[in-house]
Structure 1
Amino acid sequence: MEFIKSHGLGNDYIVFDKEKINFPLTEKNVRLICDRNYGIGSDGILILEKINNQEFKVRIFNPDGSEAEKSGNGIRILAKYIYDYRYTTEKEFYIYTLGGKVKVSIVEEQKGRAKSIEVEMGKITFKSSEIPVLGSEREIIDEELKINDETIKVTCLSIGNPHCVFFVDEINEEKIKSLGPKIENHPMFPNRINVQMVKVLSPDKIEIRIWERGAGYTLASGSSSCAAASASYKKGLVNNQVEVIMPGGVLHVKINPDWSVNLVGPAEEVFKGELSQEFLFKLKT
């Protein structure tokens, strides 16, 4: 039972080929595999299914066992896996996610392996019903959200998965770790939500911190980068091409006139391995 493990700026995923999986994908098993003490350890699991030479499907699992609609880092990691292990020789192909179909392009190689990948992430929507956010139909821009005794202004959107963005004058990691789980599980968000703290540095550069739904504090996130850049652009704080700085590194986001978003960044394989018979037995029982 082979697997590889890769990361996108410190946001790491385990990749399995659906055709080779010989254990049930239960919530319990996902949590065990992702556990950093009792399993392999990761921020999630990607399950690849090949349709043809240019089309693929992915299921994305969070470390708490829930299933995610979309992941910018996960898509780049999967694209690298598809190209490096010659599931296709094409440099442009499509991946179907629960959050929609995306196009990926290998933009830089190193010794025949993908190094930098561009992802057409889909379109942004700020409509409450499409995120979703409870209440009357509206765009969620600078809306007040009460968290215990504190009220913060949030801008919410979806790019196939839901995001809640708030802006600060100074980055405070303890604050995102404190507010993150409270916002993620706020009753206003029936499907829970990803959370981004944003500091605007210049018209073409922002710094963010991330609390990821189902994963917690995360060093980097592709969809969160798209969300933070798009919220900043919607509010007139940045241009349509933005450098997004995170603890794990930098991603580049371009927001197009139709509110579709392109994401460019690296992916790096860490190792490949094989599940032991002992561990497989645990997954099968």
Structure 2
Amino acid sequence: MHFWKAHAYGNDFLYAALADVVSGDLAELARHMCARTTGIGADGLILFERRPGGARMRLHNADGSIAEVSGNGVRGLAALLAHQQPSPVGTAFDIDTDAGTKHLALVSRDEQGRPVFRAAMGRPERLAQQDVPLGDETLPLATLWMGNPQAVWLVETLDTREMLRVGAALQQHPAFPDAVNLELAHVVSPGEVEILIYERGVGPTHSSGTGSCAAAVAAAAYGGAARVVDVVAPGGRQHVEWLDDGVYLTGWAEVLCQGTWLA
């Protein structure tokens, strides 16, 4: 089976045309391919079908579970489409996901030649503040739907150990029956938010597109940030705009390699 690998800010995905897949167990295929030491290694496997002006995609997390959407994964697929058919700045792509169609525009190329996309990620839904009990403590979380379930913990200091502890615990928490993506978010200034990410079905990741969007919305709603901010994850800086018609995510993605899966 032919595959490609792409990433956005270290959030990496494998891509394969759905028509080329011979495995009857897609979850098992995703687990094997995404394994860091015995597979190719990635945060998820995206199976796609080309369509006029874009593609349809289905994302399996590294553990085999289904994810509704990934902001970075959508951009990686657009980068792959642009790589397969050279596309000038201004080209638009429509990517159909389980969370609806995401509209992307190729707005520029960075100093390394990587395509930069502005993606319309939709409106945040169910935004609320929620006190979530966890053992002997209560976590003040901002919860919302950003095409997938998100929980944002606004903190004064980012702590990787806390991200790992709380992120793992929330995956089995009754408040989140379908598990949840967690972001620890620190508002550096009105125009900048720093985050750490624990992704549902993956674990800690270098970056997250929907997580960046969720953190920006929570920071603007409850943390004193502006509605247009740079969100800085371990993998790098993305630009998020929370406008009246929805949230827009801007950043680069690049195709790394292609090959044949033999296992």
Report if TM-score (shorter chain) is over 0.5: yes
1:204 CA drift (Å) = 0.6
Q: How does 1:48-127 map to 2 (within 5 A)?
A: 48-52=48-52, 54-86=53-85, 91-109=91-109, 115-126=115-126
Matched, 1:34 2:34: yes
Map of 1:275 onto structure 2: 261
Letter in 1 for 2:79: K
Map of 1:157 onto structure 2: 144
Structure 1: distance between partners of 2:20 and 2:200: 28
Stretch of structure 1 that moved more, 164-173 or 180-189: 180-189
Question: TM-score, with normalisation over the residues of structure 2?
Answer: 0.94
Regions of 4+ moved over 4 Å: 87-90
In structure 2, the CA distance between the partners of 1:110 and 1:251, relative to structure 1 (3 Å rule), is: closer
Map of 2:179 onto structure 1: 192
Structure 1: distance between partners of 2:177 and 2:108: 39
Instruction: Indicate the structure (1 or 2) with the bigger Cα radius of gyration.
Output: 1
Structure 2: distance between partners of 1:37 and 1:203: 41
Matched, 1:140 2:128: yes
Structure 1: distance between partners of 2:114 and 2:24: 30
1:24 CA drift (Å) = 2.6
Q: Secondary structure at the match of 2:125?
A: coil
Spell out, residue by residue over 1:235-275, the C-alpha distance to the aligned partner (whole angstroms, 9 max, x if none): 251111110011110110000024x1000011122211112
Contact 1:185 1:193 in 2 (8 A): no
1:88 CA drift (Å) = 7.4
Question: TM-score, with normalisation over the residues of structure 1?
Answer: 0.87
1:68 CA drift (Å) = 0.4
5+ residue gaps, structure 2, are: none
Letter in 2 for 1:234: A
What is the aligned-residue RMSD (CA, Å)? 1.9
Map of 2:22 onto structure 1: 22
1:114 CA drift (Å) = 5.1
Bigger proportion of residues as strand: 2
Structure 2: distance between partners of 1:95 and 1:153: 34
Contact 2:54 2:78 in 1 (8 A): no
Identity over aligned pairs, percent: 33
Number of residues paired by the alignment?
262
Structure 1: distance between partners of 2:29 and 2:50: 23
1:30 CA drift (Å) = 1.3
Contact 1:83 1:114 in 2 (8 A): no
Contact 1:184 1:195 in 2 (8 A): no
Stretch of structure 1 that moved more, 154-163 or 16-25: 16-25
5+ residue gaps, structure 1, are: 127-138, 280-285
Map of 2:250 onto structure 1: 264
Spell out, residue by residue over 1:41-95, the C-alpha distance to the aligned partner (whole angstroms, 9 max, x if none): 110011111222x142110110010010010110110000011102977810211
Structure 1: distance between partners of 2:7 and 2:169: 27
Map of 1:174 onto structure 2: 161
Spell out, residue by residue over 1:122-145, the C-alpha distance to the aligned partner (whole angstroms, 9 max, x if none): 11012xxxxxxxxxxxx522x211
Q: Secondary structure at the match of 1:188?
A: coil
Q: Secondary structure at the match of 1:232?
A: helix
1:20 CA drift (Å) = 2.2
Map of 1:239 onto structure 2: 226
